[in-house]
Structure 1
Amino acid sequence: MEETKTSNTTQKSKLPLYLSLLLLLGLVLSYFFIPSVKEFFNEAWEVLTSDDNARIENWVSDFGWMGPVVLVLAMVAQMFLLVIPSLALMVVSILAYGPFWGSLIVIVAVVTASSVGYAIGTYLSETLVKKLIGATTEKKIEKFIEAYGFWAVVITRINPFLSNDAISFVAGILKMGYWKFIGATLLGIAPLTLYIAIIGENTDRLKQGLLWSSLVSLLVFGGYIWWDKKKKK
């Protein structure tokens, strides 16, 4: 009886994964068999990989109330299509929908993408994750999370130039607590989002600020690692 309960719990816990795979299969089939869907995806690919924030912003704005949904889906897709930078999507979201709503869309998109990455790492094979991010990267991030846990996720999220997607996959592989992982994600992404919301329209200041914030966050975390190792000795 107890084994049956455990089995049922496991099946229920995997339901979101099965639904995600079903949705992905539906999108793939739609792409090949529905011309309008294929045309939309081809256009989306061309625009989102153009590295032209103004063009992306105009394209997203044309969708009206569906624009946020497109941005959330794009944030999920960029985990597998590395040519679409997540930082660019964050900037476009805030430029297109304003500091408040744009920031809210960014938070929803990041949490959604992080949850998908976490689910892939938790329920699918480690071999698949290694193919997505590389075995060397997977091993380095695994050691990083095992050593610093919650703060490893925070520092990765707050630094725009570190691998956000990879840490989601590996956190899932290591079975890091989901709410702990999401809490660290929110704590790390909030200051970055706030910064983009404040000076997002000034491209030069934004680039310089992101570079400096990246360097500062790495120095602070480097200092924490040094202090932690010294304390353990």
Structure 2
Amino acid sequence: MKVRTKLFSGALLVGFLACVYWILRETDTLTTILDTNALHARVVQLGAWGPAAIIALMMLAILVSPIPSAPIALAAGAAYGHSWGTLYVLLGAEAGAVAAFAVTRFVGYESVHRWFGDRLSIGLIGSQNVLMGIVFVSRILPFISFDIVSYAAGLTVLSFWRFAIATLAGIAPTSFLLAHFGSEMGTGQTDKVLVSVLALGGLTLIPVGVKLYRDWRARRRLERHEQ
């Protein structure tokens, strides 16, 4: 398929997602998504279709950046508990990430490869293990945009299955904690909610702590070498 055709297809997809977001905003559906309690009530009303709605909303939240995923994950936990809630959140987030990766891999990878050529396969940006590690760490850190990483990864040489595995491994702990947090919020037991919040914060600090420790070790080795 020609590059122009791919770019046109990508533009159509962007336009479609923009229309979806506009419809959600104009119909006040976005307001419901942002309100965990309202979304929880709506999901419960859907009955057997509730899990499918959670998965679809999680997927949409990854593809359309302005839609936050945290309220959806909390509502999933409140409606279905930590186990099933985690499963539905994982399925939706993984599907959304894979879809975003596939979009840029299909639309933009060939163009990027033409511009940079073999340089994409040289050094750290050409290492499957390094790229896989970057994706994994980015999934743990909440201040790094989930969707941007998914889209950007599709433009690299990272293989599809490595991206999928790194994403799944990275989002599993956070998905469980958010679903668990949502489940405990529904019980009204503030002590358990506090534990969940602390656990989520601790999980976020782990990669930061590892990075600081490695930097400290590197400085120590450099100081010893200079002596």
When normalised by structure 1's length, the TM-score is: 0.66
Shift in Å, 1:72: 2.2
1:218 to 193, 208, 221: 208
CA contact 1:79–1:165 (8 Å) conserved in 2: yes
Larger relative contact order (CA 8 Å, sep ≥ 6): 2
Q: Distance in 1 between matches of 2:168 and 2:36?
A: 24
Q: 1:124 to 1:62 in 2, by over 3 A?
A: same
The one-letter code matched in structure 2 to 1:179 is: W
Which residue number corresponds to residue 105 of structure 2? 122
Aligned-residue Cα RMSD (Å) equals 4.0
Q: Which moved more, 1:156-165 or 1:79-88?
A: 79-88
Q: Distance in 1 between matches of 2:80 and 2:24?
A: 25
Q: Identical aligned pairs, as a percentage? A: 25
2:53 to 38, 46, 70: 70
Q: Larger Rg: 1 or 2?
A: 2
CA contact 1:122–1:175 (8 Å) conserved in 2: no
* Secondary structure, counterpart of 1:57 in structure 2: helix
Write the mapping of 1:86-125 to structure 2, written as runs, cut at 5 A.
86-125=69-108
CA contact 1:145–1:153 (8 Å) conserved in 2: no
Write the mapping of 1:189-200 to structure 2, written as runs, cut at 5 A.
189-200=171-182
CA contact 1:57–1:93 (8 Å) conserved in 2: yes
1:42 is aligned to 2:27: yes
Q: Distance in 2 between matches of 1:212 and 1:152?
A: 20
Shift in Å, 1:108: 0.6
CA contact 2:51–2:88 (8 Å) conserved in 1: yes
Which residue number corresponds to residue 39 of structure 2? 56
Which residue number corresponds to residue 172 of structure 1? 154
* Secondary structure, counterpart of 2:62 in structure 1: coil
Q: Unpaired segments of 5 or more residues in structure 2?
A: 110-122, 185-191
Q: Distance in 2 between matches of 1:228 and 1:67?
A: 50
Shift in Å, 1:222: 4.5
2:145 to 151, 163, 168: 163
The one-letter code matched in structure 2 to 1:212 is: G
Q: Distance in 2 between matches of 1:196 and 1:85?
A: 13
